[in-house]
Structure 1
Amino acid sequence: MARIQSGEASEAEEQELQALLDQYPELLKTILVVDALQLAPEMKATADEMRMHGWQQLQPHIDDAPATSRTGIRRLLIRTGWAAAILVTGLLSYNWWLHNTWKTLATTSTKDSLLLPDGSRVFLNANTTLRYARNYGKGSRELILDNGEAYFEVAAQQNNPFTVHAAAVDIKVLGTAFNVHRSANGQVDVFVTSGSVKAENKSGKSMVLHAGAQATSSDKTPDIKPVSAPTANVLAWKTNRLVFNQMRLSEVAVVLANYYQLDVVVTDSIVSNKVLQATFNNKPLDEVLDVIGKALNVNITKKHKTLEFHQ
């Protein structure tokens, strides 16, 4: 292939390559794909991975081929060098590459959203990393939530399940909307807003959740446990609405920590047990803290990314 592109190939070599293309029709697609990969230096590792994987699959076919065919294939690879080797083995690697590589969407301090090829939409909270397969929608719809929180609005496809992998939990649906939060400690919380989902962990435990239901699981425990009274603030990060209905300050602190991406500390039980009744619609942190401090008569110290509630 390299010799043909440079104009140095003989007529016999051109005929030999054409015969190979006739034998492997998908090779032309692979040539285009690998050429695109080689144009981008950052894709060299991916191209090398494709070549090595494909060569492992190609070698048995060469060994089983008649002696004349083996000689022809090997001669072609030697003549055209590594470029041809990548192209030939890429034929066998192309589908493997699609099935085993992922596209990544990562957020930092801002939120983001993604429209997937099947019409499903994903909303990502800040500090969230999500991956989805390059062949997403072609036989499977799989995503991996590496960290953070995401809300999924899934386009219904009866014969093509939608699966989110989060830590030790797999969430499987056909068409619904739900929220998944994956904590740094391996805890996964699932909340369903419409339809139903099946949550299953690596221990084989599973639970079907319907609209309005919430469940939690952790790497440290084998069970998936229902949450009896889902908090009104599960989707606060998406709706920008915080609702504290006679909520203890210790629980308020957890909500604020997640919503504003902070560490929140409550120093003693007297402050922890104070109860807050308030609703905030898309308010900045300083305004929320000012209201809480005056309503509950508590002091709030803010240092960098840490809040402390104290007497």
Structure 2
Amino acid sequence: MGGNHTQTKFILLGITDSPYAQTPLFVFFLLIYIVTLVGNVGIITLVQVSPSLHTPMYFFLTHFAFLEVCYTTVISPRMLADLLSDDKTISFSECMMQFLTFAFFATIECHLLAMMAYDQHVAICQPLLYVTIISSRVCWQLVASSYLFAFLSAIIYTWCVFGGFFCGPNHIDHFFCDEVPVLKLLCSDTHSSEMVILAFITINVVGMSVVFLLSYISILCTVLRMCSVQSRARAFHTCASHLMAVASFFGTKIFMYLQPPSSHRSLDKVASIIYTVVTPMLNPCIYSLRNKEVKAAPVKLWVYICLLKE
């Protein structure tokens, strides 16, 4: 990859260099990580054991919750360890693998959010054809294709970021190995790499955002044509949780990766914390607290278990 990196090590500067803030931050982010794991694993388990939730919408939600667990696990354990450790070094191979897996799961999430938007578009705009269009086979094909494209994208991202020559400073001004701070350490020209990365980010982030916007424009037009106020309210309530998840995910992604390199500043760490740590914790709450079917599923499951015992 452009040079001998076997002995290369980086130093992650982390969230803060204040020794007084590190312990409180460790406790705070540890609690967030635990809540994230419990919430997302809880959704996966609930959907799997509740027959009433075996629908395409919750099929996608299960995969989304699984990705949130993987996504935050790539970042949080290392970040927590660094908050309590004086040694914040990370080897070249560890840094590269962290970025590869992070890019992989982040790209899949972009595609999955777009799929969920399309699923809701079909459910509201073409309800009579929903079972035919969003069949079980189609669901698996959509998810499998997103995994494949995400893997190819992550390989290209990683090659562009780590394929140059590192011969200067080794301090990464971030709490994980992300594209922008690592590219700043390259001694070779990064213009071509930045253009390739921008092209793929445009396809994945902006492209999926367009799918999302077109789906919701169609949904909005359909909802406004509904005669019943109750039907409108139900449709808006169904879409509200997905809109909140998309806004937090795509908003921070666009802020981070589609601004000029010269514009990156200290707010980047705050944006990174939001989409790597906070958003994966909030999504289970967003989908469960705002969804009547999810809230009703534990009660139905308990009644079903009680009937079986009798």
> TM-score, length-normalised on structure 2?
0.20
Name the one with the larger strand percent: 1
Name the one with the larger helix percent: 2
> TM-score, length-normalised on structure 1?
0.20
